[in-house]
Amino acid sequence: MLREIAVGGLFFPALLLLFILSLALHTILDGVAARYGWYRHLWYPALFRVSVFVCIFSVLGFLLLHGGWV
C-alpha cells in the first residue's frame, strides 16, 4: 500500500483515509456499545471512547505502514 494516494494530480496521505475509516468504525462500535449498555460498567466513558479510537487508528496505521499489505 502506498503512503500517498494520487487523485487527479493531488496527493492525499493514505493516513487521512485511514483516519476517516477509523472514525466510521468508531462510530459503529460506539453505537453498538450504547445499544447494549456496555458503557455503564466504565468509570469514565469519555476517555475510554477516545482511547478506543486511538487504538483503532494506530492499529490500522501500523498495518498500513509496517504491515503485510506492501
Of 8, 37, 41, 68, which lies in the binding site for other proteins, with binding defined by CB under 8 A? 37
- Residue 29 and residue 52 in contact, taking contact as beta carbons nearer than 8 Å: yes
Quick check: 39 binds other proteins (CB under 8 A)? yes
Could you say whether residue 70 binds other proteins (CB under 8 A)? no
Give yes or no for a contact between 4 and 13, defined as CB atoms under 8 angstroms apart.
Answer: yes
Nearer to other proteins, 27 or 58 (CB): 27
By CB under 8 A, name the binding residues for other proteins: 27, 30-31, 33-35, 37, 39, 45-47, 49-50
